[in-house]
Amino acid sequence: MSVELSGWGRYPVAATDLLQPASAQAAAAMVAGRTGAIARGNGRAYGDAAIGEETTVSLLGLGRMRAFDPATGWLTVEAGVTLAEIVAAFLPRGFFPAVVPGTQFVTVGGMIAADVHGKNHHRDGGFGDHVAALDLMLPDGTRLSCSREQNAELFHATIGGMGLTGYILAATIRLIPVETGWIRQRTLVAETVADTVRLLDAAQDATYSVAWIDGLARGAALGRSLVYLGEHATRAALGGAQVPYRFGPAAKAGPGVPFDLPALTLNRLSVAAFNEAYFRLGAAKAGPERLVGWRPYFFPLDGVADWNRIYGRNGFVQYQFVLPAARSADLLPDLLDRIAQRGSASFLAVLKRLGRGGGLLSFPFEGHTLALDMKMEPGLLAFLAECDRLVAAAGGRLYLAKDARQTRSTFEAGYPGLARFRDIRRRYGLEGRLASRLSRRIGL
Ligand SMILES: Cc1cc2nc3c(=O)[nH]c(=O)nc-3n(C[C@H](O)[C@H](O)[C@H](O)COP(=O)(O)OP(=O)(O)OC[C@H]3O[C@@H](n4cnc5c(N)ncnc54)[C@H](O)[C@@H]3O)c2cc1C
């Protein structure tokens, strides 16, 4: 069946054959003889990573949980199981995934393929660091067990490999014990970008840390932010109001965005007003610790259904880069100033400190990562290409799971593990067989 598909940013949209196997056996039969195919999870990558050059293979049908060992926290699940399903099943039993991204509507396959990072990357690494083993299917139907001991090079290439090493059918991942579903959150106020970086760097011992930056503030307030630090709350830390809801209050259906908002709704003034109000409200709560439920803490945007429609019919791109720690202080002010000057509407500018990298093509390395949404409009692509050059010249790189537009040269400059990755693809006969719109665009 041929369909038009996009990622979460709704840009670009491309035609592809869509296969939807209900089991690993069906997947093997369907992909046999196909070229230009790629796996797809829940479509939460922003750009074109999960759109096959010719064929897209949705693995959402592989949705069974197979085994759990409460003594170690290792959980074995099929790749189409979502993070939301894991949290719903295991948080009430006192376990939470060791690493989570900013939405729970992602699959285990998608989290491994992008080696997603959470607010604890500086301490605990990426999702891939908490994968013990995976079951990988090559495009000819061969199934391989991969781990740090078995088929190790394929294992390291698959973590962060954006689906380009094979179809992840199942994986064993780590859950950590937690006593409650609450987080003890402390908010710090940073008046400038230098303060923001300093506060994040000083918080390396905090389990979770992240800064929300006012991407439109300029001059003396450039890069002002609210820095959020978090720790899992113990049972004893709960106050009277939380005790009956040890694992967090039941989810309320959040408001949705029922149709594409007209492009005029989001403009510099409306976003500046939102950012100002958000900053003031947050700053007023700075100081003492507060208890925050796991949903608003980890997945704040999941409360607004289909929020990607807020940017209108043309969609948006998310721009996320990482800079080496030693270069951030020079370059972040320049990049933030360019972004603020352009006045691109962005509710979300998030700065995180990242730790050591994982797989061959994993995005994170020791440094600072900035992520922000930008509405697709004339001039945006040229503006971002200029930012790409600055990021690449400083030894930084762009996140493939968020990317919809970088060129081959920026990509090649940023990923030194590429030569080994290409070599592995060649040796396993994957070139041409596995290809996405992303891989074709960046020459993989
Ligand atoms: C609101 C929001 C917040 C986010 N926050 C973060 C964040 O904090 N940190 C972060 O790192 N990311 C974040 N992301 C990005 C998201 O975590 C990744 O894009 C993730 O890969 C999406 O998973 P998915 O199941 O939707 O995969 P898809 O988008 O469907 O696919 C993503 C990639 O994984 C590959 N893939 C999917 N399933 C398989 C499989 N079974 N076998 C092989 N390859 C497969 C695809 O080929 C593709 O290359 C966020 C995304 C959103 C929408």
Q: Is 44 in the pocket of ligand 1 (CB under 6 A)?
A: yes
Ligand 1 center to 114 CA (angstroms) = 6
Report the relative pairing of strands 167-177 and 37-40 from DSSP bridges. Answer: unpaired
User: Per-block average pLDDT, block size 10, for the chain (444 residues)?
Assistant: 94 97 97 95 98 98 98 98 98 98 98 98 98 98 97 98 98 98 97 96 97 91 95 95 86 66 63 74 82 94 81 88 95 93 77 96 98 92 96 98 97 97 98 97 96
Please indicate whether residue 39, judged by its CB atom, sits closer than 6 Å to ligand 1.
yes
* Residue 216 · residue 267 · CB < 8 Å: no
- Tell me the CA–centroid distance for residue 186 and ligand 1, in Å: 29
Distance in angstroms (rounded) separating the CA atoms of residues 431 and 280 = 52
Q: Which atom of ligand 1 is nearest to the CA of 79?
A: 41
The atom number, within ligand 1, closest to the CA of 161 reads 49
Rounded-to-integer distance, Cα 99 and Cα 86, Å: 12
Phi (first) and psi of residue 291, to 5 degrees: -90, 130
- Given the CA of residue 136, which atom of ligand 1 is nearest to it? 42
For residue 376, report the distance from its CA to the centre of ligand 1, in Å: 21
Residue 347 is predicted with a pLDDT of 65
With beta carbons less than 8 A apart as the criterion, state whether 307 and 301 touch: yes
Distance, C-alpha 287 to centroid of its chain: 29
Question: Does the beta carbon of 320 sit less than 6 angstroms from any atom of ligand 1?
Answer: no
Token reading at 277: 């109000």
The pLDDT assigned to 259 comes to: 65
Q: Ligand 1: which of 103, 104, 122, 127 to mutate, most ligand atoms within 8 Å of CB? A: 103
What is residue 264's predicted lDDT score, i.e. its pLDDT?
53
pLDDT value, residue 58: 98
Rounded to two decimals, the pTM is 0.96
- As a whole number of angstroms, the distance between CA 238 and CA 235 comes to 6
Measured distance CA(91)–CA(88) in Å, rounded: 6
Q: Residue 343: its pLDDT value, please?
A: 78
